[in-house]
Amino acid sequence: MNAFVHIRILREIQFMNKYQPIIGLEIHVELKTKSKMFCGCPCDWFGKPPNSNNCPVCLGLPGTLPVPNKKAVEWTIKIAKALNCKINTISKFDRKNYFYPDLPKAYQISQYDQPIAIKGSLKFKIQNSEFKVEEKEIAITRVHLEEDTGKLIHQGNESLVDFNRAGVPLVEIVTEPVFRISDDAKHFLEELQTILRYLDVADCDMEKGSMRVEPNVSLMKLETWNMKQEKLPNYKVEIKNINSFRYAKYAIDYEIKRQTEILETGETPVQETRGFNENKNVTFSQRTKEEAHDYRYFPEPDIPPMVFKESFLAKITVPELPGSKVERYMRDYGLKYQDAFILTRDKNIAEYFDVINSKLKSQKSKLQVKSQNLENSIATLIVNKKISTDLIPDKFIKQLSSLLSPKETDETQLKKTIDIILDQNQKAIGEYKKGKTNVIMFLVGSVMRELKGQADATVVRNKIEKEIKS
Ligand code: ZN
Ligand code: MN
């Protein structure tokens, strides 16, 4: 490496470490309840003719009264439980006032100081950019329930509004600003999406906007000589309504670069809300950020506070979640992280895998399957798509038997191969005779490789041992 290149790299490292990104996420998820949050209109608004999915309540007409959807409240509690949150036994709705054409009442019914849940955390395993398995724990600030807004459609000089979506139950999940790199934020979002689908409470269809992400990013200055934090940033940039995890990552990375450049000139980035341009992969200024008091929050006078009894909360249960399944498959079945991860991304496939394993357990003796680690073999077959999970379980097991049945060994070929391998490895045989019995695995491996795996390893081992001893 020449001196010039070396200095450039050193500078880059120094530059990179000078600022610590502080990243938090705010996620909005539409619940897939039958009816809207405060009225009886259906929730499946997507694709309907404009303003055909409304009633006086979700149009915010004077004199109407909102009635909370019990299912939506239960599902929000379910999500909160899955994220290990503390559920507030008394929770209330508040009005968040702002004027925007997609908001028919000029306020959104949301939750301010008594949300359904606070202080959670989500633990999960990821594979980092160096292919190492790492455990992450993300602190959750709050989970609350509100209503979705309508949609604006811009056509030339005109803007049209469609209220079909207005009033759909919307859960807001806020994390602590604990992310330091955009990759971790993306992993968290993917895990959260998988969990919400396991809970069967939301489609999380990014293209329909039923899951939307708002990252907030700022940079903390570090003292370069000892890497101690200098001071927390006194500004925050929020990027609005991103409908893809990849774009969320790009937006965060772009902000880190943009803010670094501003800080390098000695300025402080402006506290503001920015949008993301998907074509150019850049963020752009939308408006300077309003403070919470700009929304003039006050308790929703038409809905009494909710009081949750212990017995009510106890009935809301959470199934085994993808993270726990990954742990269990690795621990109980000896699966590699990568296989356990792939198997658990789709709840149906994971459940199918569980059904097959429990069926096999009860009929193992009858089955002509020979495998040292049956669960692992099944996982590998499913992950590599060598066998279909569309089959009914009994057919799957039949196919499995033929796929995993002991390989027919050509006896003469086997004998010949063993003779050759033993001939080539006199030293190993000597060590074996001296008591280093472990070398047998090396010999078995060599024979198996020579036969391209077309032999039963146990048979090979027995034959080699016999041969050496004779
Ligand atoms: Zn309605
Ligand atoms: Mn919100």
Q: 435: pLDDT confidence band, cut at 50, 70 and 90? A: confident
Q: 452: pLDDT confidence band, cut at 50, 70 and 90? A: confident
Closest CA to 241 of 157, 151, 180, 163: 151
CA of 214 to the centre of ligand 2 (A): 10
Residue 421 clears pLDDT 80, i.e. is over it? yes
Tell me: the pLDDT tens digits for 128-151?
Answer: 888 899 999 999 999 999 999 999
CA of 26 to the centre of ligand 2 (A): 8
Q: Give the DSSP per-residue string, 396-417.
A: HHHHHHHHHSPPPP-HHHHHHH
CA of 457 to the centre of ligand 1 (A): 67
Share of the chain above pLDDT 90, in %: 65
CA of 212 to the centre of ligand 1 (A): 22
Burial class (CB in 10 A: 0-12, 13-18, 19+), 407: middle
CATH of domain 411-469: 1.10.10.410
Neighbours of ion ligand 1 (CB under 5 A): 39, 41, 55, 57-58
Q: 292: pLDDT confidence band, cut at 50, 70 and 90? A: low
Length of the chain: 470
Burial class (CB in 10 A: 0-12, 13-18, 19+), 176: middle
Q: 367: pLDDT confidence band, cut at 50, 70 and 90? A: low
Give the pLDDT of residue 380.
Answer: 87
Give the pLDDT of residue 399.
Answer: 83
CA of 186 to the centre of ligand 2 (A): 20
CA of 43 to the centre of ligand 1 (A): 9
Q: Mean pLDDT of all residues in the chain?
A: 89
Share of the chain above pLDDT 70, in %: 90
Give the pLDDT of residue 16.
Answer: 56
Residue 224 clears pLDDT 60, i.e. is over it? no
Residue 368 clears pLDDT 80, i.e. is over it? no
Tell me: the pLDDT tens digits for 14-57?
Answer: 555 688 999 999 999 999 999 999 999 999 999 999 999 999 99
Give the pLDDT of residue 20.
Answer: 92
Give the pLDDT of residue 412.
Answer: 83
CA of 110 to the centre of ligand 2 (A): 7
Residue 174 pairs with which residues in a beta bridge?
26, 142
Residue 5 clears pLDDT 80, i.e. is over it? no
Strongest mean pLDDT among 11-25, 365-379, 434-448: 434-448
CA of 33 to the centre of ligand 2 (A): 18
Query: Counting ligands in written order, which one lies closest to the CA of residue 60?
Result: 1
CA of 240 to the centre of ligand 1 (A): 26
CA of 145 to the centre of ligand 2 (A): 8
CA of 417 to the centre of ligand 1 (A): 77
Choose the weakest-confidence range: 8-17, 339-348, 372-381: 8-17
Residue 205 clears pLDDT 60, i.e. is over it? yes
Query: Counting ligands in written order, which one lies closest to the CA of residue 26?
Result: 2
Rounded Cα–Cα distance for residues 329 and 341 (Å)? 9
Q: 451: pLDDT confidence band, cut at 50, 70 and 90? A: confident
Q: CA distances (Å), 100 to each of 104, 105, 157, 226, 401, in order?
A: 8, 10, 17, 48, 63
Higher pLDDT residue, 1 or 158?
158
Query: Counting ligands in written order, which one lies closest to the CA of residue 53?
Result: 1
CA of 31 to the centre of ligand 2 (A): 13
Query: Counting ligands in written order, which one lies closest to the CA of residue 96?
Result: 2
Contact between 376 and 335 under an 8 Å Cβ cutoff? The reply is yes
* Domains of the chain by residue range: 17-314, 322-404, 411-469
Give the pLDDT of residue 406.
Answer: 63
Give the pLDDT of residue 293.
Answer: 62
Residue 358 clears pLDDT 80, i.e. is over it? yes
Give the pLDDT of residue 15.
Answer: 53
CA of 74 to the centre of ligand 1 (A): 20
Element (H, E) at 143: strand 133-147
